[in-house]
Structure 1
Amino acid sequence: MMARLILMVLVCCWCTLAQAHKPSDSYLSLDVQGQTIAGQWDIALRDLDFAIGLDGNGDGELTWDEIRARHGQIAAYALQHLKIASTAGPCQLQAGQQLIDQHTDGAYNVLRFQATCPGSAAPASLDISYTLLADLDPQHKGLLKLSHDGQVQTAIFEPEHARQNLSLAAPSRLAQFGAYVQHGIWHIWIGYDHILFLLSLLLPAVLLPAAARAGIASGQQSLKAAFFDVLKVVTAFTLAHSITLSLASLSLISLPSRMVESAIAASVVLAALNNVLPLFRGKRPVAAFVFGLIHGFGFASVLRDLGLPQSALVTSLLGFNVGVEIGQLAIVAVFLPVAWLLRKTWFYRQLMTWGSLAIALVAAIWLLERLADIKLIS
């Protein structure tokens, strides 16, 4: 009976992770030029298909003709869920050109539009209401990049924060730092591949070194020893991804996104299999560092979508990295006590083996999808 229960839990987790590799979000850019605002809104085609239906013939594949035929409906649906107002009153939004662009998680419709605000001078602030997919997906996030006179600030819209008032005055360094900390926390929590990689490396932390190397849960080590084991893995991962995140975000190194995403999926496969087969032989911190270098490029792709303000590159980059670490430590803070309490149980032995195999299977499918650019489950 217990075995069936564990199997059901693992299957449910597998299905959830497999079909939710990346939660829904969109990228909204507003460039304020006097009373006129030039806008660009990148919305995932999968979200638009879910909301208004783009697949005309129902074959499960979207073609350019099907998308182009719905341009009017796409623009109407999107702009219906975006309201912009200055202190003088509502701004009038007008749809423009529509394109297709590839993000790391698939194809996006790019809607360009223009907003004209009332009054005779540039607005001092903007009141923005964002309700895209609010009635369909409560987890959806809108990531805003607001530019004005060379200054860039960001915001995250969600159903609980659907309306925000943003000053166009130059934001303080502290405010920019805080905004990018928030972005970093959010993006580690939605990065399921990063989370699964980290958890796969942490699963053996509460076991004796010999048992961990053998991929079994027959021995346990002290909480202090487990803490330092986790500390070494997390520190190695943090140092590594901080290096490549900084280099890639500052455009000093650039790698193709498909190669990066494929390598991240491969790292999850290897980290999970290490819990069943002794691939790293007690060198999990080394593995965390080596693969962390690749994960840093994945984090950098998020910053490229958000845009780093040139006036505060270091502050924003540091804030994002701090946010990633806060999100990561929150995961560890939940994992370690639970793993410690369960370390002697039959359930943990099964989780060590079958949970790791389930993670490896999900990541293997992600790897195939990313290498072949096909959709299987994501």
Structure 2
Amino acid sequence: MMPGLRTLWLLAAALLLAAAPAWAHKPSDSYLTLDVREAGVDGQWDIALRDLDMAIGLDQDGNGELTWSEVRARHDAIAAYALARLKLASGGAPCPLRVTEQLLDNHSDGTYAVLRLHADCGGAVSALEVDYRLLFDIDPQHKGLLQLRHAGQVSTAIFAPDSARQSLQVADASGWRQFGDYVRHGVWHIWIGFDHILFLLSLLLPAVLVYRDQRWEGRTTFRAAAIDVLKIVTAFTLAHSITLTLATLGVVALPSRLVESAIAASVALAALNNVWPLFHGRRALVAFAFGLIHGFGFASVLLDLGLPKAALLLSLVGFNVGVELGQLAIVLLFLPLAYLVRNTVLYRRGVLGLGSCVIVLVALAWLVERGMDVKLLA
């Protein structure tokens, strides 16, 4: 295979990897709060109903809609499934968990079962050992987001298949440790935030080209392409950092459905511009304008995770740094490959043209789903 064609295949594969999950279920999170009190632990565990339905089956009539009676009928099964996948211990001795109450609550991405928990550790707790295994066997992208509270202090942890067992000091509210946790979560979120990735890619695809005389031509230097990418990424970063901060601090709030619908529309418009250039020379301005909306999307994730008051600024900055590192990894993968194949017909018509059309269709499906609360993509 010729070097240029091999590079094109690598670029196409990278784009497919980014776009393919658009049809998959959104990677899930659960939200666990544990409050250490004397010799016991009180807690609350929010688990998405869609995840529980996938794991143990809640939709008894198979009509694709869950009712309160269907969920209530499976309370015992929900409790048994959850408790089998969460173990607490203190000083090497187990802290038996039980569910004291089950409720429902709405999060930004749907309805969650709320399990109120209690554990008796039989003595003072200085370090809590947590073994978290929820959904890892059926969804390896699942994350468990923990807030650990003790004597007015809050610390956080993120559980994944490679970090399912963690020992947490109940008085460890180290800001820098939490900074690192939020950096990792920011990187993870941008990598699973397929709408954010497709928006960024839609703006980056023409960066190695110039629209001249009604046609796309390859840029003459890598430096020119890199400068164009730098302008776009900087504008997007600045914009979403502004609204991420304002929304997280509670200064500005927008309805979740409006934000998610606007993000889908931004993806469609950015990709459509690659087929019918309307604002080719102003893509950085577009990145800034729509980046303000994407910042509200990032904020919804951060608000669901929860920010420890003792390390509010560090955690907020850490999450944003993680998002930027995730973006940087995408750019470093994309730009050299795209520049090498920029002059090929396959890049201009295949990757840019056809790829952008596919992104438009996916984004329009998202827009209908989010605006009308229906399911089009499996």
Please, what TM-score do these two structures have when normalized by structure 1? 0.92
**Counterpart in 1 of 2:50?**
46
Query: What CA deviation, in whole Å up to 9, does each residue of 1:136-194 have, x standing for no partner?
Result: 22222211121222222221211111111111123322212111111111111111101
**Counterpart in 2 of 1:145?**
147
C-alpha distance 9-341 of structure 1, shift in aligned 2 (>3 A)? closer
**Counterpart in 2 of 1:232?**
231
Give yes or no for the alignment of 1:170 onto 2:169: no
Q: Which amino acid aligns with 1:147?
A: R
**Counterpart in 2 of 1:24?**
28
**Counterpart in 2 of 1:354?**
354
1:21 is displaced (CA, Å) by 5.7
CA distance in structure 2 between the partners assigned to 1:370 and 1:149 by the alignment: 41
Counterpart of 1:62 (choices 55, 66, 75) is 66
CA distance in structure 1 between the partners assigned to 2:307 and 2:41 by the alignment: 20
Identity of aligned residues (%): 62
- Answer whether contact 2:40 2:122 (CA < 8 A) is retained: no
Q: Which amino acid aligns with 1:151?
A: Q
Q: Please list every run of at least 4 consecutive aligned residues from structure 1 whose deviation after the TM superposition is greater than 4 angstroms.
A: 8-15
Q: Which amino acid aligns with 1:101?
A: D
CA distance in structure 1 between the partners assigned to 2:60 and 2:262 by the alignment: 35
- Answer whether contact 2:211 2:280 (CA < 8 A) is retained: no
C-alpha distance 15-70 of structure 1, shift in aligned 2 (>3 A)? farther
Q: Which amino acid aligns with 1:273?
A: L
Secondary structure at the counterpart of residue 224 of structure 1: helix
For structure 1, the residue ranges without an aligned partner over 5 or more in a row are none
CA distance in structure 1 between the partners assigned to 2:345 and 2:104 by the alignment: 50
1:115-264 matched pairs, under 5 angstroms: 115-119=119-123, 121=124, 123-210=125-212, 214=214, 216-264=215-263
CA distance in structure 1 between the partners assigned to 2:253 and 2:122 by the alignment: 42
1:65-76 matched pairs, under 5 angstroms: 65-76=69-80
CA distance in structure 2 between the partners assigned to 1:12 and 1:199 by the alignment: 12
Q: Which amino acid aligns with 1:257?
A: S
CA distance in structure 2 between the partners assigned to 1:321 and 1:293 by the alignment: 14
- Answer whether contact 1:24 1:140 (CA < 8 A) is retained: yes
C-alpha distance 13-335 of structure 1, shift in aligned 2 (>3 A)? closer
- Answer whether contact 1:30 1:146 (CA < 8 A) is retained: yes
C-alpha distance 208-41 of structure 1, shift in aligned 2 (>3 A)? same
Secondary structure at the counterpart of residue 353 of structure 1: helix
CA distance in structure 1 between the partners assigned to 2:82 and 2:322 by the alignment: 30
Aligned residues: 369
Q: Which amino acid aligns with 2:157?
A: A
C-alpha distance 234-103 of structure 1, shift in aligned 2 (>3 A)? same
Q: Which amino acid aligns with 1:344?
A: N
Please, what TM-score do these two structures have when normalized by structure 2? 0.92
CA distance in structure 2 between the partners assigned to 1:305 and 1:322 by the alignment: 18
Q: Which amino acid aligns with 2:88?
A: I
